[in-house]
């Protein structure tokens, strides 16, 4: 079966990472027909917007996209394309697995966390205003509908992937109404999974400390948008950093797979950045497409190349370029496919 997929290479290091990732996914044996469209800084001049309508149309048509990182100007300039995509396509769930890999120097060896972040509301609505010259207000929105929807996603993920427990993370002791509603919604959904998936909750500050000290105690975490953003970087730090942290943004109609990291402009065009996070995002995409065996082959091959340590990028202590690393993983994936046949 052929899968038609939208590919957005992105800004900065994005195009190099996308090329290496395509090479690996094409070696997996799955037939992927790539529809390449550009978004971000590079198209601003041509279209007057960093997110042209034809990009959204392509994703709506194919229902699946793989996306490189896109630059967002700080404090001025165009609005985040990443946030724009999530809102336009109602990609309400952000999924960010963080799993230890042999060969990476980290504090713990057996981290296996899945962060499920609500992607559409909380403080990300951009509802802000100045109050006079010296104060500003930002509005935090939490609804029962979005909170129950993300909690259901977390529990369904747990059921489908053989996970044992979901932990809701909040600050309901202080934000009794907004985070209180998030927690109440999670409890309501959890009741429907009683006896199958365990449920508990933690206050965000305590959760951060526990994740740093005892990450192996946790399984699937479900969080409102802002805490989810922060905790997923914390989890990425536990397993080797931003270069190896994959992600997915999932809605009812479409899904966009992308690394947690940004466009790292200082490394752009240097054949130096690590494509692992985008390759792992590609593996998540294969799983989403029902290509579980191929996804497993890609993840295993990547893990083997990293554990071997001879052909890894500079951030992992090696001297291989983005391209050479991608080629090593692609060769290993193709080898696994031939061995299986
Ligand atoms: P960043 O993730 O781009 O880079 C931070 C540092 O992490 C880099 O300097 C580099 O040392 C390291 N790094 C990140 N990815 C790496 C990789 N693949 N290989 C090796 N090292 C890597 O974060 P930033 O500098 O804060 O942001 C740069 C731009 O990216 C900003 O415009 C920001 O808005 C944007 N951004 C986009 C996304 C996205 O597209 N989803 C996410 C985060 C940031």
Nearest to 96 by CA among 109, 110, 111: 111
Would the CB of 84 count as within 6 Å of ligand 1?
no
Q: Reduce the secondary structure of 162-208 to three states and give it as a string.
A: CCCEEEEEECCCCCCCHHHHHHHHHHHHHHCCCCCCEEEEEEHHHHH
Q: Which two tokens stand for residue 19?
A: 């090329």
pLDDT band of 1, cuts 50, 70, 90? confident
pLDDT band of 65, cuts 50, 70, 90? very high
* d(C-alpha 46, C-alpha 38), whole Å: 11
Nearest atom of ligand 1 to the alpha carbon of 247: 41
Look at residue 198 in the predicted model and tell me its pLDDT. Answer: 98
Helix or strand or coil: residue 221? strand
Would the CB of 332 count as within 6 Å of ligand 1?
no
* d(C-alpha 288, C-alpha 150), whole Å: 17
Is 262 buried (19+), middle (13-18) or exposed (0-12) by CB count in 10 A? middle
Would the CB of 87 count as within 6 Å of ligand 1?
no
Nearest atom of ligand 1 to the alpha carbon of 68: 40
Question: Using CA positions, which residue lies closest to atom 32 of ligand 1?
Answer: 71
Instruction: Decide if 134 is catalytic.
Output: no
Ligand 1 centroid–CA 259 distance in Å is: 10
pLDDT at residue 44 above 90?
A: no
Which has the higher per-residue pLDDT, 1 or 250?
A: 250
How confident is the model over 137-141, as a mean pLDDT? 96
How confident is the model over 324-332, as a mean pLDDT? 97
Question: Using CA positions, which residue lies closest to atom 20 of ligand 1?
Answer: 273
pLDDT at residue 335 above 90?
A: no
Instruction: Decide if 315 is catalytic.
Output: no
**Of 37-46, 74-83, 195-204, 310-319, which range is least confident?**
74-83
How confident is the model over 18-29, as a mean pLDDT? 97
Look at residue 63 in the predicted model and tell me its pLDDT. Answer: 98
Would the CB of 291 count as within 6 Å of ligand 1?
no
To test ligand 1's pocket by mutation, which of 44, 69, 268 has the most ligand atoms within 8 angstroms of CB? 69
To test ligand 1's pocket by mutation, which of 39, 242, 244 has the most ligand atoms within 8 angstroms of CB? 242
Look at residue 340 in the predicted model and tell me its pLDDT. Answer: 67
How confident is the model over 256-267, as a mean pLDDT? 95
pLDDT at residue 101 above 80?
A: yes
pLDDT band of 336, cuts 50, 70, 90? confident
pLDDT 10s digits, 153-171? 999 999 999 999 999 999 9
Instruction: Decide if 193 is catalytic.
Output: no
How confident is the model over 34-45, as a mean pLDDT? 91
Q: What is the mean pLDDT of the chain?
A: 95
Q: Give 222's strand partners.
A: 116, 168
Is 206 buried (19+), middle (13-18) or exposed (0-12) by CB count in 10 A? exposed
pLDDT band of 341, cuts 50, 70, 90? low
pLDDT band of 146, cuts 50, 70, 90? very high
Q: Give 19's strand partners.
A: none
Question: Using CA positions, which residue lies closest to atom 5 of ligand 1?
Answer: 264
Look at residue 242 in the predicted model and tell me its pLDDT. Answer: 87
Instruction: Decide if 229 is catalytic.
Output: yes
Look at residue 193 in the predicted model and tell me its pLDDT. Answer: 98
Ligand 1 centroid–CA 173 distance in Å is: 33
Which has the higher per-residue pLDDT, 4 or 334?
A: 4
Would the CB of 72 count as within 6 Å of ligand 1?
yes
pLDDT at residue 274 above 90?
A: yes
Nearest to 154 by CA among 245, 73, 223: 223
Residue of 200, 205, 253, 308 marked active site: 205
* d(C-alpha 224, C-alpha 101), whole Å: 27
pLDDT 10s digits, 221-249? 999 999 999 999 999 999 999 889 999 99
Phi/psi at 151 (5° precision)? -65, -40
Look at residue 75 in the predicted model and tell me its pLDDT. Answer: 66
To test ligand 1's pocket by mutation, which of 264, 277, 321 has the most ligand atoms within 8 angstroms of CB? 264
């Amino acid at each position: 079966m052929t899968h038609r997929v939208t590919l957005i290479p992105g800004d900065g290091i994005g195009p190099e990472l996308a090329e290496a990732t395509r090479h690996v996914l094409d070696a997996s044996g799955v037939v992927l027909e790539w529809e390449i469209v550009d978004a971000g800084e590079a198209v601003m001049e041509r279209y007057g917007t960093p997110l042209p309508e034809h990009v959204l149309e392509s994703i709506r048509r194919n229902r699946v996209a793989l996306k490189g990182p896109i630059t967002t100007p700080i404090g001025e300039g165009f609005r985040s394309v990443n946030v724009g995509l999530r809102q336009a396509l109602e990609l309400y769930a952000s999924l960010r697995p963080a799993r230890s890999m042999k060969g990476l120097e980290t504090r713990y060896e057996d981290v296996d966390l899945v962060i499920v972040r609500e992607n559409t509301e909380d403080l990300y609505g951009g509802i802000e205003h100045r109050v006079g010259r010296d104060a500003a207000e930002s509005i935090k929105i939490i609804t029962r509908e979005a909170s129950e929807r993300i909690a259901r996603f977390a529990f369904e993920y747990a059921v489908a992937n053989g996970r044992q427990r979901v932990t809701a993370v909040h600050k309901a002791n202080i934000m009794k109404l907004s985070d209180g509603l998030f927690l109440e919604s999670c409890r309501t959904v959890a009741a429907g999974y009683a006896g199958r998936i365990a449920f508990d909750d933690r206050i965000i500050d305590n959760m951060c400390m526990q994740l740093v000290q005892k990450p192996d105690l946790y399984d699937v975490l479900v969080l409102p948008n802002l805490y989810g953003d922060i905790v997923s970087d914390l989890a990425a730090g536990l397993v080797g950093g931003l270069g190896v942290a994959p992600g997915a943004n999932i809605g009812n109609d479409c899904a966009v797979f992308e690394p947690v990291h940004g466009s790292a402009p200082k490394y752009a065009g240097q054949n130096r950045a690590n494509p692992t996070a985008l390759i792992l995002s590609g593996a998540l995409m294969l799983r989403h497409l029902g290509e579980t065996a191929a996804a497993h082959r890609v993840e295993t091959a990547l893990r083997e190349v990293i554990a071997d340590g001879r052909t890894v990028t500079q951030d992992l202590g090696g001297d291989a370029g983005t391209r050479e690393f991608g080629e090593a993983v692609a060769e290993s994936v193709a080898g696994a496919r031939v061995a299986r046949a």
